[in-house]
Every structure is written in structure tokens, then in C-alpha cells.
Structure 1
Amino acid sequence: MNTLEQAIQYIDEGRAEEGLKILETIVQKGTDEEKYYIARYYHTLGFLEQSLVIMEDLCLLYPEESELTLFLAELYIDFDREDEAIEALNHVNEGDDLYVQALLLLADLYQMQGFDEVAEQKLLKAKEKLPEEPVITFGLGEFYSSRGDFVKAVPYYMTLLPEHTEMGDVNIPLRLAEALSALGKWEEAISYYEMGLKEHKDIHTLFGYAFTLYQAQLYQRALPVFLELKELDPQYSALYVYAAHCYEEEGMLQESYETLREGLKTDEFSVEFHVRLADAAAKLGKTEETEAALLEALALDPGHLEAVLKYIYVLKQQGKYEEIKEAVQIAGENGEDDPQLTWDLANAEKELEQYSDALNHYRDAYTSFKDNLSFLEEYGYFLLEEGMRQEAREVFGRLLQLDPAQAHIEELLYNLEDLQN
């Protein structure tokens, strides 16, 4: 047994102090080959500084040895000294056997620094050098996926299949499924999800598969996947909204409602859950529950437009016009000034016989709703009731321009002309 082997044996046996002293002696007096081996060994032990000192010396002695250069670059990366790693790797010659490996490391480094275009060039150069190398093909797929450029990523993942279904810890069919799903190619993605799930299944992958089925409007197939996900992780709150919608699409309104109630327990501060629960309650005719859910949503976010509009609709059904005015005011105080709120306010003021205020708000809303037939008819009748016949004729005239088939409006305009004459 030589001295180096003895030192390693001592360390393996727990006699670390003795072993490390021997290694220090070899570093001072040993051959360069032994020093390189010790640098590698130090690296495995986590003695990065000692390893780096050795490698910097060796690379000064042997600048053309690309194996040493690559290891030095890896050490620089360990110390977050990316610029020095890049400088070292750029010294590897194009004709070197390890040139492609250097390109791949450079691509990672440039991407880490935000230089995506340079990283892409390095990867494409590596692909040009070794066009059949699956690691490079995979690297390009991962690079484009990380940038959200799934159109470019998909062909690289497809090239890997069916020979390569796993690269490192990555399941290629699932990566491909995710990319296709991100592109809205739901039907294509489904088969790759099913292929990948045979080998790898976790909650996020299951959700991706269920969501893709959902997006493809395959609600009967999506629902059991969402329910399987719920069994694995009942706190995965996102699944409940989609599972509820699947139930709704299958005509199972009570199940949809109960699913949302169950989901709300996982995230009681979610405005989305309260709004969706209100929708489900409304479909079941549960007026009190609908209003209560919307009030909960608005307590969490008083300016949430969808919740405000749905709440106003419920109030309108009950003739609660003062409450509508209050809801619009609160929304405005929270920065929401959607034109629909102005229309709703005008309508409420009309019903409360606050005609002057209603007129002002109808006029404000007109700019946004001058192409809305329902608004024009409501506004026109309001003007008529207020004795403002000329303005009413203009509004009704606008309505007929948009929809000449409105015979009752045409007759009304005709009668107004008669009265004018």
C-alpha cells in the first residue's frame, strides 16, 4: 500500500487527523498526478479551498490540459466565482476532446448570469459538434423550457423519445407533456402525461395532467384525477375549483357546491373560492348563501370587481338599491372605477327616484356603453320618462343603427317624431 492509499484508509477508518497530515505532506512533495488526485479527493471531502489551491497551481503548470481546466472551473462555480470559471473555460480549444463539455458548462454559467443569447449560442455550437448526443439535445430542451419558449423546446424533447425517457432525474414524456400543455396543445399533451405517469407520479404532475384534461374539456376524465390528487394531498387547494367545475359540467350542481365548500377550508382567505362558491350557491337557488359568500369575498378584497358586480346583481334581484349605492361607493374608495359600476349606480339612483344623480351617471356610462343595446334601451327610456325627448331620440336612434331589427324601438321613434311634429 502506497502512502496515498494509506492516508485515504486512515480517513475512511475515522483516523482523519492522521490521514490528512499525510495528504498535506504528499501535496508538498508528491507528483503532480498525486496532487491532482488529492484535489479531487479533497473535493469529495468538502475541503474546497484546499482543492482550489492545488488546482490553480496545476493549471498554471499545464494550461493546455483541459481536464484540469474543467475541474478548476467547477471549483470556481462552487465558490460563486462565475466570471473566473468562464475565463478558464474559454481557454479550452475547439479541437479539444473536452471542448463540448466546456461549452455545456459555459452555457449553464451564461444562463445563470442572464446572458441567455450567449448560452443559446454555446448550446447550439455543442449540438453542431455532437448532433446525436442526447445530453445536448436534452440541454437545449431544458434551456428553451426555462425561458418559456416551448415551441423550440418541444422538438428536442420529441427527438429524445422513445430511446430516452429519463435524463438525470427528469422524466422526458412529462417534460414534453408540460411543454405541449403550455402551448395549449391539450390533446397531444395527454398521451405524454399518461406515458410519463407510468414511471413517475407526484402531486404536481397529477395536477398538470388533470388540468390538461380539464382544458381539453374532458371533464369526465379529469374529475377522477383531481379526486386522486385530493386523496394524496387534501390541502392542494387549486384542485377544488377545477373539480367543482367538472361536477358542474356533468350537471352535478350539489357536488360542485360541496366541493367548493370543502376547498374553502384549505384556503379561507381566497377571494376566488368565495366567488366561485357564490356562483355554485346561486345555481342551486341558495340566495342567502350566495350573498354571504360574496360578502366574505368583499371583506377580503373590497375592490374585487367580479365580487362587487356579482354582489350588485344579487342586490338588484332583491331590490336593495341603497345597498347597491353603498357597494359602488366602497368599490370606488378601493380604487375600482369600472364603467359597469357607473351603470349600476345610475340604475339604482333611478329606482330610488334620485333622477338628477341618475342622469349624470347614465351620461358618464354612455361613453363606455354606446354600443350596448341593453344600456341604450334602458337609458333611452329613462330620458323619455324625464321628458328629455330629443336626447331620447338620439339614444334610440343609436340603438337602431346597431340593430335595425328592433321593431318596437322603431315604432317608438316614429311616435316621438309624430309628437314632435
Structure 2
Amino acid sequence: MTHSEKVVDLLHAGQFDEMETELAKAIETDGLDLLTDLAEYLSMMGFMAESRQVYEKIAAKDANNTDILLNLAEMKFDDGDLDGALELLYKIEATDDNYVAALVMIADLYQADGVWEAALEKLLEAASLTDSPLVTFAIGELYYNQGKWREAISHFAKLSQRQILELTKISTYQRIGTAYASLGEFENATKFLEKSLEIDHDDNVLFELAQINFATGEATRAIDYFKQLDALAPDFDGYAYPYAQALIEENDFEAAFTVAKDGLSKNPTDVPLIHLTSRIAYALHDLEGAEKYLTQALDLPDLHDETVFLLSNLYMEQEDFEAVIGLESLLDEEHVLAQWNIAKAYRELDQDEKSLTIYDEISQSVLIDNPEFLLDYAQMLIRNGRTADAKTSLSKYLSLVPDDDNSQALFNEL
């Protein structure tokens, strides 16, 4: 029995320490054919480090074996050793049968490193040497990954959808559809995505079609696609939020609530979905539920200040001004809309000094161009005898809303 054969037996027996010892002997003594078979088998079984050791030994013994160089380069690529992989690939000469394969792999390496122009240069060279559809596909993928949608469409359109799907498991129709969607050409996008779905079911295509239909105002069709996705792939990530939105668009708040809650049962830390679920609960007059969801979100770091703002809105609606003020200490950063609510709450409780301090602070923010804020601020300033400041705020307001006769009359009185 050869050392390579012993390695395989020990692998299956789970005796990995002994396998390592026998592997070292195989590398030193077994012939190239045996080592090649061993390297392939180890790779197939998921023992990549061991397989790489064998391939490196073969490459050292038989530097002209470009099949081995390609395999070893791919392993180095997978390990993140881009320079090592490139060094091996550049050893493959233009006269070699594996030269085109080397060019494509070099392009992959450059692409992984973000060197797009060099990657394209290698792929175009490969295209000049072969009419392989895989090279055309690789060029399309390069453009696609850069967001160069027109160029990507041009290359994908040259290919046989079924052939590429068989070779790569990727649908060119989906790629073209997604590219058209990214260009805002939703009618074309829908045509290609539907074609893709006819040939090969793909949950991602269902999701894209649902989103496109919702974005183009076809909420009913969007819901149909979301229902299919819900039935076929209930664990698909991230569909609950847009599905619930589509149902809201159709005024089916009960169904939207069911979808949103189901989504949260799968991903309870999805803060945007928690916010939406709270909004749906509010629309269904479940104020306790609306508050409960937002309170849960307070314990999560994502969109924390937005949660505080939404909760302050809810408390303002209920005229629970003490609760609004209680949120002030929870703000991590400046959130002017939440601060505005807190300022209004202080005013409602006749704590004008604290209220004005906040009003003055946020008047220097983006709210300076908000007509509703400018009018509210002016009224607060008038209430506290700051007439000159009130006129300044009213003047800015009237420049934005010149047809407000009541505010113009108030300005004239000051």
C-alpha cells in the first residue's frame, strides 16, 4: 500500500494525527500521479491545507504542469494570498493551453483587489484568443460588479441563458433584469426577470419582481410575488418590511401587522421593521402595542435616536408631556426633531426657560429651512417677549410661505 493510499484510509478512520505523518511521507516518496490524485481527493474532502501541501510539492517537482499551477493558484486565492496566486499564474505562458484560463483567473484576482482596468485588460485579451461564452460572461460580470449596467447588458445579451445557467448556475436574464432595474427601466427589468423565473425558480428574482412592482405603484402584483416568496422561502432575509409596506399601500393593515410580526419573530433585532410594526399597531388603534414595540427598540443600538424620536411622537399624540421629557436623557446624539418635541413638551408644562434653550439650539440646525418650525419658534419667542428674534424667524418663514396672510399680519403687528 502506498503512502497516499494510507493517507486516505487514515482520513476515513478519523486518525488525523497519523494521517499528517503519513502525508509527509507521501509527499516525500510517492510519484506525481499518485500525489495528483491525492491532492484532488483531499480537496474534494475539504482538507484544503493538506491538499495545498501536496500541490506545492507537485509544482516544485513539475514546474511545467500548468494544471497544477491553476489549482494551486486558486487555493492561494481562496486563502487570500493574492500575490502568491498571481506569481503562479504569470508563470503560464501564452503558448500554453491553460493560458486563457490563467488570464480569466488573473482578472478575478484583480477584480477582487478592485483593480478594474487591469482585470478588464486580461479579460479582453482572453476574448481575443477564444470565443468561449464563459469569457464573455466574465466580462459582463466585471461590468455588472462595477455598476456599468449598459455594458453589462450588452455582454450578457450575447449569451445563451440556458447554457450559462448550466455552466455557472447564474441566470443572464436575472443579471439583465437587475441591470435594467438599476437604470430605472422597470418595464424591461420586469420582462427579463419574469423570463428568468420561467426557466429557473430563484427566490432572489421573486423578491426583485416584488420590489419593482411596488416601486412602480403595482402594489397588488407586488403582494402576489411576496406571497409566493412567503410560501416558498419563508426564511428569505429582509422581505417582511417591503411586504408589509405593500399591504399598507392596499390598506390591509391587519395583514401587514401579521407579516410584520412574523418577520420580527425571525429577526427580533430588525429595528426598521420594529418601527414599521409600531406604526401599523398605531394605525390599528393599538396604542399600547405601538409603545411596546418602540420601547423594545430602545434596547437596540441601531437607529437608537430615531426610536427616541418616534416614541416622543407617540407620547406627544397622547399629550403625555412628562414622558416626552423623560426621553431627553436617552438621546445619544443630536436629533433635532426629537429635541423639538422635547422643547414643545417643556412649553406645554410651562417650563419656558428649558424649552427656549432647546429652541434656540435647534434653530441653528437644518430646521432653519423648515417652515413649520420657524412659525412655531416665532410663536414661542413672542410668548417670551423676544420680539426682534420673533420677527427674524417670521421673516424667514414668510420667505418660504409668502401666502400666509395671518402670519404676515402678525409680522406687521410686531
**TM tier relative to shorter chain:** 0.7 to 0.9
Q: Which amino acid aligns with 2:344?
A: N
Kindly provide the CA deviation profile for residues 65-84 of structure 1, in whole angstroms up to 9, marking residues without a partner as x: xxx33433423544667645
Q: Provide the rounded CA distance (Å) in 2 between the counterparts of 1:365 and 1:358.
A: 11
Aligned 8 A contact 1:243 1:259 in 2: yes
* 2:410 corresponding residue in structure 1: 412
Aligned 8 A contact 2:174 2:193 in 1: yes
| 2:364 aligned with 1:367 | yes
Sequence identity, in percent?
Answer: 25
* 1:258 corresponding residue in structure 2: 258
Q: Flag the 1:215–1:104 CA change in 2: closer, same or farther, 3 A.
A: same
* 1:171 corresponding residue in structure 2: 171
Kindly provide the CA deviation profile for residues 289-321 of structure 1, in whole angstroms up to 9, marking residues without a partner as x: 222222222233496233222221221122111
* 1:381 corresponding residue in structure 2: 379
* 1:393 corresponding residue in structure 2: 391
Residue 122 of structure 1: how far off its partner (Å): 0.8
| 2:194 aligned with 1:194 | yes
Q: Provide the rounded CA distance (Å) in 1 between the counterparts of 2:251 and 2:93.
A: 67
Residue 136 of structure 1: how far off its partner (Å): 0.7
* 1:143 corresponding residue in structure 2: 142
Aligned 8 A contact 1:69 1:88 in 2: no
Structure 1 unmatched runs, 5+: 1-6, 15-23, 29-34, 417-421
Q: Provide the rounded CA distance (Å) in 2 between the counterparts of 1:51 and 1:370.
A: 67
Q: Flag the 1:415–1:119 CA change in 2: closer, same or farther, 3 A.
A: closer
Q: Flag the 1:55–1:398 CA change in 2: closer, same or farther, 3 A.
A: closer
Q: Flag the 1:311–1:302 CA change in 2: closer, same or farther, 3 A.
A: farther
* 1:282 corresponding residue in structure 2: 282
Q: Provide the rounded CA distance (Å) in 1 between the counterparts of 2:304 and 2:342.
A: 17
Q: TM-score normalised to the size of structure 1?
A: 0.78
Q: Provide the rounded CA distance (Å) in 2 between the counterparts of 1:302 and 1:208.
A: 25
212-221 vs 35-44, which moves further: 35-44
Q: 2:71 aligns with which of 70, 74, 85?
A: 74
Q: Provide the rounded CA distance (Å) in 2 between the counterparts of 1:388 and 1:51.
A: 82
What SS does structure 2 have at the residue aligned with 1:300?
Answer: coil
Q: Provide the rounded CA distance (Å) in 2 between the counterparts of 1:231 and 1:313.
A: 36
Instruction: Number of aligned residue pairs: give it.
Output: 379
Q: Provide the rounded CA distance (Å) in 2 between the counterparts of 1:380 and 1:222.
A: 45
* 2:246 corresponding residue in structure 1: 246
Q: Flag the 1:103–1:413 CA change in 2: closer, same or farther, 3 A.
A: closer
Q: Which amino acid aligns with 1:138?
A: F
Aligned 8 A contact 2:70 2:102 in 1: no
Residue 228 of structure 1: how far off its partner (Å): 1.6
* 1:31 corresponding residue in structure 2: none
| 1:1-400 correspondence runs (5 A) | 41-46=37-42, 53-59=57-63, 68-78=65-75, 83=83, 85-94=85-94, 98-112=98-112, 115-130=115-130, 132-161=131-160, 164-166=163-165, 167-236=167-236, 238-301=238-301, 304-331=304-331, 335-368=332-365, 369-400=367-398
Aligned 8 A contact 1:244 1:259 in 2: yes
Q: Provide the rounded CA distance (Å) in 2 between the counterparts of 1:238 and 1:390.
A: 52
Q: Which amino acid aligns with 2:394?
A: F
Q: Flag the 1:88–1:354 CA change in 2: closer, same or farther, 3 A.
A: closer
241-250 vs 283-292, which moves further: 283-292
Aligned 8 A contact 2:308 2:330 in 1: no
Residue 402 of structure 1: how far off its partner (Å): 2.5
Q: Flag the 1:407–1:176 CA change in 2: closer, same or farther, 3 A.
A: same
CA RMSD of aligned residues (A): 3.2
Bigger radius of gyration, 1 or 2? 1
What SS does structure 2 have at the residue aligned with 1:236?
Answer: coil
Aligned 8 A contact 1:157 1:176 in 2: yes
Aligned 8 A contact 1:38 1:51 in 2: no
Aligned 8 A contact 2:275 2:307 in 1: yes
347-356 vs 304-313, which moves further: 304-313
162-171 vs 255-264, which moves further: 162-171
Aligned 8 A contact 2:374 2:394 in 1: yes
Aligned 8 A contact 1:241 1:260 in 2: yes
234-243 vs 402-411, which moves further: 234-243
Aligned 8 A contact 1:73 1:86 in 2: no
Residue 37 of structure 1: how far off its partner (Å): 5.9
Residue 350 of structure 1: how far off its partner (Å): 1.2
Q: Provide the rounded CA distance (Å) in 1 between the counterparts of 2:175 and 2:383.
A: 64
Aligned 8 A contact 2:206 2:229 in 1: yes
